[in-house]
Chain A
Amino acid sequence: MTNILKGMAFLLFFQFAGETLVTVLDAPVPGNVAGMALLLAGLLAGAVKVEWVEEACDLLLSHLALFFVPAGVGVMVYFDLIAAQWLPICVSMVLSTFVVMAVTGWVEQKLEKKGKPDVG
């Protein structure tokens, strides 16, 4: 439990640092994404020890999907907006999602250097 608290303190600190950085630089990224980059830099530099954050990270990430639900429910407010142009919106949304997965995956796989085979 204390480890989770310690980890949460670090995560919130890095999120705050990320928010601050984004505000100061007026960068087009959200503060939490900048916080992720800062925490990664901290881990790589050895300034942050994995043990300090791993329990909190693993706990939060094992429930990551849950945290998207409230924003998702917000779709209900904009049903009318989607309904007004449902055909172009829905068809291009679905098809484009598959196009992006195909292009990204194929390109990366083609260029990938084989270390040990990592068939997933």
Chain B
Amino acid sequence: MWGELTTTPLFGAGITVFVYFVAQLLYRRTRSMLLNPVAVSIAAIIVFLLATQTPYESYLRGGRMILFLLGPSVVALALPLYRKRKEVGRNRWPILVGIFSGALASIASASGLAWLLGGTEKVVVSMAPKSVTTPIAIGIVEKIGGIPELTAAIVVLTGCIGAICGPEFCRLIGIRSATATGLAVGTASHGIGTARMLEVDKLSGAVSGLAIGLNGLVTAFLLPLLFVLFR
């Protein structure tokens, strides 16, 4: 009977909304950055699916309905950016140079560290676009010969790291400006980091949303090029 129930879309959609609601409540009560709602929800649902031996495919039937809303939500990121167009426009060059430096640092440090620690070539390649939003990262990895599934998982986990402690880390290392903080978190941890930045500060959220697209674009052009040079 359990198997039958879990194959309806209601199961995946229902558990996602319910668990996220509880995680949100927990986060509001405790204000602990370690209880980041996205990370907690993902972990809780995974534990539940494993415990009940429910396959991911069954969950995804309903999960896909929630996932669908990600599309128009990314389009919606244009609005915070439009509202902060003066601040963003004034700093367009610092923002572009910042993203470009971040994209280079990301490729170099992710694959460099993986290589130093004994990662196989497939792993080193799959790590390279880890800070880029999932659909772009997968496109790049398919082109340069990594493992798309591994990249998808690493991209999500990278997003969670930035969402959990991005703003706190920035403050710790002396990054004070709202533009710089948003740019740092958005460039390092794409949409999941942006979701957190939208809660922290309007300007940071706007810049973080911009960084998703621009870092994706820069990495998509830069990485295949670097790959040819260093191979």
Contact = CB atoms under 8 A, between A and B. Distances in A.
Contact of A108 (B91, B159, B163, B200): B91
A5 interface: no
B156 A104 contact: no
B63 A70 contact: yes
Contacts of A73: 42, 45-46, 49, 56, 59, 63
Given A82-B150, A108-B97, A109-B179, 14 more contacts: A28-B136, A29-B220, A31-B71, A36-B77, A50-B83, A61-B77, A69-B66, A75-B42, A88-B113, A92-B112, A93-B157, A97-B162, A100-B187, A109-B177
| Interface SS of chain B | helix
Given A72-B160, A75-B153, A56 B177 contact: no
Contact of B66 (A39, A67, A107, A110): A67
Interface of B: 12, 16-17, 19-20, 37-38, 41-42, 45-46, 49-50, 56, 59-60, 63-64, 66-67, 69-83, 85-87, 90-91, 93-95, 97-99, 101-102, 105-106, 109-120, 123-124, 127, 130-131, 133-136, 139-140, 147, 149-150, 152-154, 156-163, 166, 169-170, 173, 175-185, 187-189, 191-192, 194-196, 198, 200-201, 203-205, 209, 211-213, 216-217, 220-221
A109 B195 CA distance: 22
Given A101-B166, A118-B203, A69 B42 contact: yes
Given A108-B91, A112-B177, A119-B176, A54 B113 contact: no
Contact of A94 (B111, B161, B195, B217): B161
Nearest to B122: A85
Interface of A: 8, 11-12, 14-15, 18, 28-33, 35-37, 39-40, 43-44, 50, 53-54, 56-58, 60-78, 81-82, 85, 87-89, 91-113, 115, 118-120
B218 to A, nearest CB: 11
A104 to B, nearest CB: 3
| Interface SS of chain A | helix
A56 B75 CA distance: 11
B211 to A, nearest CB: 8
12 contacts: A33-B216, A35-B75, A36-B81, A68-B195, A70-B63, A72-B41, A76-B49, A85-B119, A89-B154, A101-B166, A105-B170, A106-B173
B45 A92 contact: no
B136 A112 contact: no
A74 B156 contact: yes
Contacts of B139: 28
A2 B19 CA distance: 29
A88 B124 CA distance: 9
Nearest to A90: B157
